[in-house]
Amino acid sequence: MQQLEIFPKNEKDPTGADPHSKGAKLDAGKTPVFQGLFDYFPRACLHVADVSDVGAQKYTWKGWESVPNGYTRYSDALSRHLLKKGIEGDFDNDTMMLHDAHIAWNALAVLELKLREIGYEDI
C-alpha cells in the first residue's frame, strides 16, 4: 500500500531537522507574517485597521473590493490624502485620523487589487 504524502516535498525545517523529529516545523521559506509585519509595525497596523473600521461604518465591510475601477480610484484617494496632509496637517478633517493611516490603507488596497489582478496567491 502506498503511503499518502501529507506535506509537499519542498517544505523544510529551517534548522535542517527531519520533519518527523520532535520540534520540527516545516516553515523554511514561508512568509514571516508576524515577524515581518505585526512585530515591525504594530501601531501602524492598528491605525490602518481603524481606517478599515471607519470605512466599514460609512459603507460596508469588504465593499471596497467591488468598487468599479478600484485600482485607480484608491490610487486617487491615496494621492488626495498625500495632498491634504500638506494642506490640513497630520489629521484628516473628516475623520480626525492621521492622513498617514489613510495613505497606508489606500496603498494596501491598491496593492491588494494589483496582486489579485495579476493572480498572485502565494502567502
HEC assignment per residue over 22-61: CCCCCCCCCCCHHHHHHCCCHHHHHHHHHHHHHHHHHCCC
The mean pLDDT value for 51-62 works out to: 97
Q: Point out which residues pair with 91 in neighbouring strands.
A: 98
Does one domain contain both 24 and 44? no
122 in a structural domain: no
Residue matched to cell numbers 509537499: 8
Number of CB atoms found within 10 A of residue 18's CB: 8
- The grid coordinates of residue 59 equal 459603507
**The pLDDT of residue 123:** 61
| Structural domain that includes position 93 | 33-117
44 vs 6, higher pLDDT: 44
Contact 25, 13 (CB under 8 A): yes
pLDDT digits (tens, 9 = 90+) for 63-107: 999 999 999 999 999 999 999 999 999 999 999 999 999 999 999
99-119 pLDDT, tens digit per residue, is 999 999 999 999 999 999 999
Same-domain status, 20 and 56:
no
CA–CA dist 7, 113 (Å, integer) = 30
